[in-house]
Amino acid sequence: MKTFKYSLIPKLLYRYASIPANLILLIYFLISVLGLIANWKFIFPLLINIILLYVLNRFYLKMYRSFPFRIDINNEEMLCSDFVFNNREIKIKHSEIENISGGIFSGRAYMPLYIKTKDTVIGISPHIKDYNKLLTLILTNVPKELYESLLKSIQKIAMDNTPKRIK
């Protein structure tokens, strides 16, 4: 089995960056509430703070549930562990993978990759060490139909992004 982990800085950012961001947004939220008492125009910063708090926490909760910080992989299965909220281990057989989306398959290589089975969804950020090797191992072991559909989606994205020749 080959092991893939995040390096120290991305691991710290993914686990703990929401704490100071939430504290700063909560301070601005309180200032906006106090300012709303004095002038009704503070409703706009208050609404912006509420939206930012919602989006930030929705992203981090989704990431905490679906992003493992350790992935052990071989030719038959992946063992995902070291989640933020709990110490569960998820075993995914390559033959059970139904869909892979996001990342390079959506045309945005900097976005997370989501591996979906009928029971679970696992997210993998491109900041994991040896991301390309991990992606290669996954793609070489998924069912052939899924591999071909992913290849077609990448080709379509490549064709859409090539500049058109002027005649």
> What is the per-residue pLDDT across 13-22, written as a single tens digit (0 to 9) for each?
888 999 999 9
Q: Which two tokens stand for residue 15?
A: 């686990």
pLDDT of residue 135: 93
Task: Give the pLDDT band (50/70/90) at residue 160.
Answer: confident
pLDDT tops 60 at residue 167 = no
For the segment 55-70, the average pLDDT, to the nearest whole number, is 92
42, 35 in Cβ contact below 8 A?
Answer: yes
31, containing H or E segment: helix 18-38
